[in-house]
Amino acid sequence: AQTVTQSQPEMSVQEAETVTLSCTYDTSESDYYLFWYKQPPSRQMILVIRQEAYKQQNATENRFSVNFQKAAKSFSLKISDSQLGDAAMYFCAYSLGAGSYQLTFGKGTKLSVIP
Amino acid sequence: KAGVTQTPRYLIKTRGQQVTLSCSPISGHRSVSWYQQTPGQGLQFLFEYFSETQRNKGNFPGRFSGRQFSNSRSEMNVSTLELGDSALYLCASSLWGGAGNSPLHFGNGTRLTVT
């Protein structure tokens, strides 16, 4: 079974600084997707970024980027120029290749942004 | 375009009762997934429906069931409620399922408390 591990239950960052959230996963598959979701106090899960395992290039979305190390099964999220609105729970998630109908989530990292 | 709508937002039930939660997906989305979120177990996949058919089910007892209607709206039902069923229940919709190439859009969830 696939597992996703987030080893940092809580992290904090100064506003305008950069922070990196860690995620490792375990799978024997070669075709899969990885995601970072953000869950603010409103409870709605919001997709931050998505990475396809067969793509070497790391995904980026504005201030958010990932460091995808396939051999090491590592998928970290870097948030640059942190803003107060970035404060939330961040979940790393895994899905098998196209046609898979479920996500496997990590336990999450609570990010605080200090003004 | 309206997002995923879950009703009710909060629910309090007594052990042994049953409960029905509702989810209206984004217009045009045909896949609906349900997840249970608890502090201890994190986010766990319950089931996924597409065109009124359940395509995948997580590791939950038979007390948890769901269905999808022809307009893609979905309901999940929990019978004989137990204290451990207290959780945030999240619904997510996507165009055709397959979290990889058809990103999930989540609702704000229903907070169920069992007393």
pLDDT tens string, chain A, 115 residues long: the values are 789 999 999 999 999 999 999 999 999 988 899 999 999 988 889 999 999 999 888 999 999 999 999 999 999 999 999 999 999 999 999 998 767 788 999 999 999 999 9
A97 to A30, B87, B101: CA distances (angstroms): 8, 29, 8
Region at B63 (left for phi over 0; alpha for psi -120 to 50; beta for the rest): alpha
- Judge: A47–B45 Cβ closer than 8 Å, yes or no: no
Name which of B58, B100, B107 is nearest A100 (Cβ-Cβ): B100
Q: Using CA coordinates, name the residue in chain A closest to B101.
A: A98
Around Cβ A85, how many Cβ atoms within 10 Å? Answer: 9
Pairing of strands A74-79, B64-68: unpaired
**Secondary structure of B95-106 as H, E, C letters:** CCCCCCCCCCEE
d(CA A77, CA A67): 7
Around Cβ A22, how many Cβ atoms within 10 Å? Answer: 17
d(CA B35, CA A4): 16
pLDDT of residue A101: 81
Around Cβ A80, how many Cβ atoms within 10 Å? Answer: 14
Q: Is B42 exposed, middle or buried (0-12, 13-18, 19+ CB in 10 A)?
A: middle
Residues of A in contact with B58 (CB under 8 A): 102
Residue that wins the pLDDT comparison between A56 and B66: B66
Best of A5, A10, A91, A101 to disrupt the B interface (most B CBs within 10 Å) is: A101
d(CA B54, CA B65): 10
Number of helices (H), then strands (E), belonging to chain A: the values are 0, 12
How do residues B14-50 score in pLDDT, each as one tens digit? 999 999 999 999 999 999 999 999 999 999 999 999 9
d(CA B93, CA A44): 13
The neighbouring-strand residues paired with B6 are B23
